[in-house]
Amino acid sequence: MKRLGHYNAENYWSLLWYEPAVRATPIGRQKTSHHFADHGVVFWRSDWTERATAFAFKAGPPEGHHTTALLPRLPDWHLSSGHAHPDAGSFIIYANGKYLTGDSGYAGVPLTAHHNTVLFDGRGQAREGKGHDAFDDVPYERMDAIRITEASLGPRSVTLRADLTSAYEPELGLARFVREFRFDGRNEFVITDTISARKPVVPTWLLHADDRVGRAGDGGFFIERDGTRLLVEVAEPRGGRASVEPNDLTAPGRPGSVDKGERQVRGERLAVSTPAPAADAKFVVRLRVAAPAGGRRQ
């Protein structure tokens, strides 16, 4: 490793990944999208230039779908999924060299509230809030049901659909939670959430900014990074309650006490809730990337 110029113990992964049979390919000829089906993660980008628009979307179990079949064959395998977050349905958007929206980074106590997804009656996914591993003692068969059910990836349009129902604890009473994520290949995203519950609940839709969420004059919102804006229009629910709040979390603590770090505020989040508890709800949110003044549109 020293001879190869490695500077970090983690660099050994490059030796494990190295495959001499794979021919070198210029970055501009690499594929610009891929669906990692096992983990339920999709990456897409318009091109390989510095001004590309790119996004990532996640909806899968913490250790991948293949783990469901492996667990019965390895009875001494005890999962520890502390590096996975309770973030099914979350997404990241990047454009013009700027990170516009995504998650809050590494936390000592990972919560759904740190990601671009949905809370129900203020509660997130799995058994969050009890420590560093939000999936501790959650039946893996239930997590395996979190999945991307459609992934249509084209250069001019993208459609993703995901079933997120089983990401949440049964006592919340969710009967169906399907997220549809669409992108027009240029600058507009449309996120549609269809929710049904066995009892009235208050769903809260979340969108995060590394710094602040601004209010637009037309009643919408925006996130801005160095001149590039992500414009936010909440089309549904009508009459919903919207607020901008600090994104506070428990930072990682010392080794051995990772869930006992200090409290930190990392930017702000937009929270949109239905006007009242409901058994059926629908969210439709449009996000549009506005290029910097003088810059080309994506």
Which structure tokens are listed for 56?
């990532």
Q: At 298, is the pLDDT very low, low, confident or very high (cuts 50, 70, 90)?
A: very low
Comparing C-alpha atoms, which of 205, 194, 201, 254 is closest to residue 234? 205
Cα distance between residue 213 and residue 220, in whole Å: 10
Cα distance between residue 153 and residue 235, in whole Å: 25
Give per-residue pLDDT as tens, 109-157.
999 999 999 999 999 999 999 999 999 999 999 999 999 999 999 989 9
Cα distance between residue 11 and residue 34, in whole Å: 24
Q: At 183, is the pLDDT very low, low, confident or very high (cuts 50, 70, 90)?
A: very high
Average pLDDT, the chain: 94
Give per-residue pLDDT as tens, 153-173.
998 999 999 999 999 999 999
pTM of the full structure:
0.92
| Domain chopping of the chain, boundaries | 31-290
What does the pLDDT read at residue 16? 86
Residue 116 · residue 283 · CB < 8 Å = no
What does the pLDDT read at residue 297? 40
Looking at the predicted structure, is the pLDDT value of residue 19 above 80?
Answer: yes
Residue 192 · residue 107 · CB < 8 Å = no
Q: Report whether CATH 2.70.98.70 matches the domain 31-290.
A: yes
211's enclosing H/E stretch is none
Which residues, 6 or more positions from 10, have their beta carbon under 8 angstroms from its beta carbon? none
Q: Other CB atoms closer than 10 Å to residue 179's CB: what's the count?
A: 24
CA dihedral 264→116→137→255, nearest 10 degrees, is: -30
The DSSP output letter for 27 is G
Looking at the predicted structure, is the pLDDT value of residue 236 above 80?
Answer: yes
Across 193-222, average pLDDT: 96
